[in-house]
Amino acid sequence: MSHSSVFATLTTASVIFSTLGINSKAAAQSLTVNNTEVTNYAQSVLAMEPDRQQAFEEIKKMIGEKEIPKIVCNDVNSMSSLPRKAMDIAVNYCNRSQKIVENHGLTIERFNKITVEIQNSSDLKRQVYNTLLRLQNTSDKSK
């Protein structure tokens, strides 16, 4: 994966929950995130991204030219304007994403807090970015 692709993935992680996401409300105080959590977060984001893209494209095809509304996984009302099949796609994505996050050793609450902190901390954003690069490089070499 090129540096621009990793940057795009990180950018997506920072806003991954603006469309097809999990509510990322968190307190404004600074959050301490250890190296294991950074790695788990990055692995989760990389694992979720293909599903997110696929779900987004499928929903986009279903609703046509209309703009996809902001979908928040733990806010059923955010999906209420979607056609039934599109809502099912969003719900399935949300369920898979939660499992991915949990399989990588984080709770949804912790994942959301880290997402918010990335938006507020250039140091954490850089750390996650570098971890994404490292993970992607490792993945590319193992292929």
Q: Look at residue 57 and tell me if it is in a domain.
A: yes
* pLDDT band at residue 26 using 50, 70 and 90 as cut-offs: very low
Q: Look at residue 111 and tell me if it is in a domain.
A: yes
Nearest to 113 by CA among 32, 42, 43, 46: 32
Q: pLDDT digits over 43-88, tens only? A: 999 999 899 889 989 998 998 888 888 888 877 788 888 899 999 9
The pLDDT of residue 5 is 52
Q: Look at residue 142 and tell me if it is in a domain.
A: no
**CA triplet 101, 68, 121: central angle to 5 degrees?**
45
Q: Look at residue 143 and tell me if it is in a domain.
A: no
* pLDDT band at residue 7 using 50, 70 and 90 as cut-offs: very low
Please give the model's pTM, rounded to 2 decimal places: 0.78
Q: Look at residue 8 and tell me if it is in a domain.
A: yes
Residue whose tokens read 């795009």: 8
> Cβ distance 93 to 36 under 8 Å?
no
Residue 6 pLDDT greater than 60, yes or no: no
Quickly count: other Cβ atoms within 10 Å of residue 138's Cβ. 9
Measured in Å, how far apart are the chain's first and last C-alpha atoms? 12
Range of the domain at 78: 3-21+32-137
Domain count, the chain: 1
Q: Report the interhelical angle of 3-15 vs 35-63 (nearest 10°).
A: 80
Pairwise pLDDT comparison (68 vs 40), residue with the higher score:
40
Structure-token pair, residue 69: 């509304």
Q: Look at residue 27 and tell me if it is in a domain.
A: no
- Lowest mean pLDDT, pick from 18-22, 30-34, 107-111: 18-22
The pLDDT of residue 14 is 40
